[in-house]
Amino acid sequence: MMNRRNGFTLIELLVVIAIIALLMAILMPALQRVKKQGKMVACLSLLKQWSLWFSMYAEEYDGYFMEGFDGTSKGTGNNRWCRAMGSYHKYNSDFSCCPNATQPWFDEAGNATGLEGTYRGSTSAWGYWQQDGWLAPLKGSYGINGFCNNPEPEVRNVSNNWKGPNVKGAGYVPLFLGGQRYNFWPNSTDTPPAFDGEQWQGDNMGRICLNRHNGFVSCLFLDFSARKVGLKELWTLKWSRNYNTGGPWTQAGGAISSDWPEWMKSFKDY
């Protein structure tokens, strides 16, 4: 009698390996998309937590936001959101960082990482950083719309500011969103970054025009809703009371896809 064969031949093993490799090649892009979508959902969930804290702060202070950077003559002269809302976020950087942007500009020992103004800068966090009145160093990759502050009138003109959340059209006013700095004051004429991560300093819109979520950034609005915003859409939002939502970088203002920097041309126009 002939001996019974127990096992696979080399050819059969190679065929099995080839099939597994083919399946992995098909599945990996889908898995990557799911992973990225998961980080977007996690980012929006963090912003929803911030919506509760901003709402609680406004309720505690008669419907008004904090004075902001250099907005008060008391104490150190500033009351940034980081300090004003410290009792809520407890200086926990897990809450102040987008899941796609956690590498800090400075490590906890204060050493610069050299990420500012680089391609990697779009996925970096400002900090670790500490100012007077902060209970601990903080890093973050979210920032506040600087027009959503309530400076003291004798310190700064407030006619262009959203001093609190109870305003008409609040669902179109950005409050808190992904950014390379802890605050920004966008203008409709701000030019888009020449490359992703370039404008950590300069035109304020460039501080938030960052490709962290496949052409989108996560944003919390003044009505405390959170959603993803297209990078070109940033120029169409109502950043301040006098902001021109039909400025030169919008479709209403005549902008076309070819006007944008190369890295942004494929993104949806608004």
Whole-number pLDDT of residue 14 = 78
CB count within 10 Å of CB 254 equals 11
Residue 85 near residue 60, CB atoms below 8 Å: no
Task: Kindly state the tokens that stand for 257.
Answer: 């896809």
For the chain, the straight-line distance linking the first and the last C-alpha, in angstroms and rounded, comes to 78
Residue 177 near residue 218, CB atoms below 8 Å: yes
Whole-number pLDDT of residue 245 = 97
The runs of H, that is alpha helices, within 64-160 are: 81-84, 86-89, 93-96
Whole-number pLDDT of residue 36 = 67
CB count within 10 Å of CB 229 equals 22
**CA-to-CA dists, residue 230 to 44, 109, 219, angstroms:** 14, 36, 10
- C-alpha torsion sign, points 115, 120, 121, 125: negative
pLDDT in single tens digits along all 270 residues of the chain = 455 556 667 777 777 788 888 877 777 675 566 566 788 899 999 999 999 999 999 999 999 999 998 888 776 668 899 999 999 999 999 999 999 999 999 888 888 998 988 888 888 999 898 888 899 999 999 999 999 999 988 887 889 999 999 999 999 999 999 999 999 999 999 999 999 999 988 889 999 999 999 999 999 999 999 999 999 999 999 999 999 999 999 999 999 999 999 999 999 999
- For the whole model, what pTM was predicted? 0.86
How many Å apart are CA 153 and CA 239, to the nearest integer?
20
Task: Kindly state the tokens that stand for 107.
Answer: 């490590």
With b for 16 or more beta-carbon neighbours within 10 A and e for fewer, the 13-50 pattern comes to: eeeeeeeeeeeeeeeeeeeeeeeeeebbeebbebbeeb
Question: Can you tell me which residue has the tokens 């297209």?
Answer: 230
- C-alpha torsion sign, points 77, 72, 184, 131: positive
How many Å apart are CA 179 and CA 212, to the nearest integer?
10
Whole-number pLDDT of residue 46 = 97
